């Protein structure tokens, strides 16, 4: 059967819907839906705005961090160079004081020798000094050894000279004892 | 009538559900994303703050750097071709002052340093020197002490003293064989410094 718009009554579904729409409850429901949709749209817009702001803040923070990281890297390079310069400065100071240090050690060594004992040769070794000398009797050599236990006697023998009391000796003196 | 009321309730339920689902689908993921971005931005901000605190001390480091550079230049003394004439002048002056004779001065060949990488490049170029001096112990010791304080950069490496003449009652004459090194400082020892300081600024 064909539906005639002019003659036939509206379909039952439409009638039911009309009846439904007419009620206050349905109007309330529709108002709720409209309000909720509005609130949702507003909330969504607000969140989108916040999201944009958060992205901008993140980009700003990234730019600031990148800039500061580059500066810190440069500062690190400068600090490395500064450390190298400090090492160089220390070396130069060591070179500048090497003469005074050697002179002081020689003086200390000479002061340690007891009377009637004299040096004929003094040479720097890697860990101290090699001393050659003469003494009037073995007892003098013994006194020098007693005065400084760090001194190592390498050899002692009778001198070939006229005086039979004179002995030749060789000693090793480690540097720490002379400082 | 009863049926209509039930339908309305169902419709309310469906609407509330739809609203909740829409809220969960739209707002919650954005909130989560915002939280994540804010957390990341805070972490970057903290790191940048830490970096800036470090950079605040750059001024002090710059002053320290300048002072060390000046000190290095002062300690290095005279440089260039005049270094040997300065060594001779220093020796002559010290010898006259402390009554020491300069017997010989033999500048050796420049000491070759094995090739190294750029970072461990040694800015000091040593040249061996053999110096023979004769005199009394006191004079030799004082000459030795002053030798490294002159205008040229010289370091004493080893000394050998030998008796030349026992000199009767007085203190004997000694011969000092001194092994020393003269050092030349690279002209470009500061190289790279300008780049680093420019970048830091």
- Of A90, A92, A141, A70, nearest to A112 by C-alpha is A141
Residues A72-85: what's their mean pLDDT? Answer: 88
CB contacts of B167 in chain A (<8 Å) are none
Q: What's the pLDDT band for A43 if we cut at 50, 70, 90? A: confident
Of B103, B153, B102, B144, whose CA–CA distance to B126 is shortest?
A: B153
Q: Tell me which residue of B22, B10, B19 sits closest to A25, measured CA to CA.
A: B10
Q: What is the pLDDT of residue B120?
A: 58
Verify whether the Cβ–Cβ distance A85 to B72 is below 8 Å. Answer: yes
Residues in A touching B147 (Cβ below 8 Å): 99
Percent over 90 (pLDDT), chain A: 22
DSSP state letter for A175: G
pLDDT at B196 over 60: no
Chain A positions in Cβ-Cβ contact with residue B45 (cut-off 8 Å): 61, 64-65
In the DSSP assignment, the letter for residue A176 is G
Residue given tokens 């004493």 in the structure block? B156
Return mean pLDDT, chain A. 83
Judged by average pLDDT, the poorest of A134-143, A149-158, B3-12, B30-39 is: B3-12
Angle at B197 between CA B41 and CA B71, to 5 degrees: 135
Candidate from A21-35, A72-86, A103-117, B172-186 with smallest mean pLDDT:
A21-35
Judging contacts by C-beta atoms under 8 Å, the chain A residues touching residue B124 are 88, 91
What is the pLDDT, as a whole number, of residue B201? 46
On chain A, the residues whose CB falls within 8 A of the CB of B155 are 94-96, 98-99
Between B161 and A73, whose confidence is greater? A73
Question: Which A residues 15-44 touch B at CB under 8 Å?
Answer: 19-20, 23, 25-26, 29, 32-33, 36, 40, 43-44
Any bridge partners for residue A135, and if so which?
A117, A167
Q: Measure in Å the smallest separation between the Cα of B83 and chain A Cα atoms.
A: 15
Lowest mean per-residue pLDDT among A34-38, A45-49, B158-162: B158-162
CA distance B153 to B172: 31
- Contacts of residue B123 in chain A, CB cutoff 8 Å? 88
Nearest Cβ partner for A122 among B65, B148, B160: B160
Hey, which of A85-94, B85-94, B100-109 has the most confident mean pLDDT? A85-94
Q: What are phi and psi of B199, to 5 degrees?
A: -65, -40
* Cβ atoms < 10 Å from Cβ of A178: 19
CB-nearest partner of A78 from B65, B155, B189: B65
Q: Under an 8 A CB cutoff, do B19 and A33 touch?
A: yes
pLDDT in tens, B48-99: 999 999 888 887 778 888 899 999 999 988 877 677 888 888 889 989 999 9
Most confidently modeled range among A28-32, A134-138, B42-46, B85-89? B42-46
The yes-or-no verdict on residue A55 having pLDDT over 90 is: yes
Is A166 touching B (CB cutoff 8 A)?
A: no
- Largest distance between two CA atoms of chain A: 163
Q: What is the pLDDT of residue B184?
A: 87
In this structure, of A13-22, A116-125, B103-112, the range with the lowest mean pLDDT score is: A13-22
Q: Between chains, do B12 and A23 touch, taking CB under 8 Å as contact?
A: no
* Dist. CA A43–CA A46, nearest whole Å: 5
Q: Which of B176, B182, B163, B172 lies closest to B95, judged by CA?
A: B176
ipTM of the modeled complex:
0.73
The residue in chain B having the minimum alpha-carbon distance to the alpha carbon of residue A42 is B27
Q: What 3-state DSSP class applies to A154?
A: strand
* Residue corresponding to tokens 């100071």: A93
pLDDT of residue A178: 42
Give the per-residue pLDDT at B170. Answer: 62
Model confidence pLDDT, tens digit, residues B112-164: 655 554 445 788 888 889 999 999 988 999 999 998 888 889 998 888 888 88
Assess A82–B contact: CB distance below 8 Å, yes or no: yes
Structure tokens at A44: 């969504």
Q: Where are the beta strands (DSSP E) in chain B?
A: 101-110, 124-135, 154-165, 173-185
Cβ neighbours of residue A102 closer than 8 Å, sequence gap 6 or more: A124, B144, B145, B156, B159
Query: Which tokens hold the place of B27?
Result: 């707002």
Q: Residue A125's Cα: distance from chain center in Å?
A: 37
- CA B98 from chain centre, in angstroms, equals 38
pLDDT at A179: 39
B146 to chain A: which residues are within 8 Å by CB? 99
Residue entry with tokens 């400084």: A148
Distance between CA atoms of A138 and A140, rounded to whole angstroms? 5
Residue B110 to chain A, least CA–CA distance (Å): 17
Q: Which of B34, B76, B172 comes nearest A92 by C-beta?
A: B76
| Residue B68, CB-side half-sphere exposure with 13 Å CA sphere | 22
Tell me the whole-structure pTM to 2 decimals: 0.67
Classify residue A100 as left (phi > 0), alpha (psi -120 to 50) or beta. Answer: alpha
Q: Measured between alpha carbons, how far is B149 from B93 in angstroms, rounded to an integer?
A: 12
């Amino acid at each position: 059967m064909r539906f005639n718009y002019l003659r036939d009554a509206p379909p039952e579904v439409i009638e039911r819907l009309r009846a439904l729409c007419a009620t206050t409850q349905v109007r309330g429901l529709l108002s709720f839906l409209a309000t909720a949709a509005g609130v949702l749209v507003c909330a969504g817009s607000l969140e989108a705005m916040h999201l944009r702001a958060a992205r901008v803040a993140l980009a700003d923070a990234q730019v600031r961090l990148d800039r500061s990281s580059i500066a810190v890297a440069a500062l690190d390079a400068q600090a490395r160079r500064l450390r190298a310069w400090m090492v160089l400065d220390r070396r130069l100071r060591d070179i500048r004081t090497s003469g005074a240090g050697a002179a002081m050690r020689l003086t200390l060594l000479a002061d340690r020798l007891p009377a009637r004992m004299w040096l004929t040769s003094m040479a720097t070794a890697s860990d101290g000094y090699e001393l050659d000398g003469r003494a009037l009797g073995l007892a003098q050599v013994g006194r020098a050894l007693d005065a400084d236990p760090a001194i190592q006697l390498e050899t002692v023998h009778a001198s070939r000279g006229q005086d039979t009391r004179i002995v030749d000796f060789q000693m090793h003196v480690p540097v720490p004892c002379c400082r | 009538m009863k049926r209509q009321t039930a339908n309305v309730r169902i419709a309310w339920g469906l609407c509330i559900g739809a609203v909740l689902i829409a809220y969960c689908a739209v707002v919650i993921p954005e909130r989560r994303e915002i939280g994540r971005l804010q957390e990341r931005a805070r972490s970057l901000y903290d790191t940048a703050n830490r970096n800036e605190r470090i950079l605040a001390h750059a001024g002090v480091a710059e002053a320290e750097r300048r002072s060390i550079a000046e000190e290095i230049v002062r300690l290095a003394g005279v440089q260039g071709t005049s270094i040997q004439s300065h060594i001779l002048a220093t020796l002559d002056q010290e010898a006259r002052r402390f009554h020491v004779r300069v017997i010989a001065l033999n500048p050796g060949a420049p000491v070759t340093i094995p090739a190294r990488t750029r970072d461990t490049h040694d800015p000091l170029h040593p040249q061996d020197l053999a110096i023979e001096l004769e005199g009394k112990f006191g004079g030799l010791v004082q000459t030795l002490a002053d030798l490294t304080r002159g205008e040229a950069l010289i370091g004493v490496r080893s000394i050998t003293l030998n008796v030349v003449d026992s000199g009767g009652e007085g203190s004997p004459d000694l011969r000092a064989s001194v092994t020393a090194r003269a050092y030349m400082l690279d002209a470009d020892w500061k190289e790279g410094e300008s780049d680093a300081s420019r970048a830091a600024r």
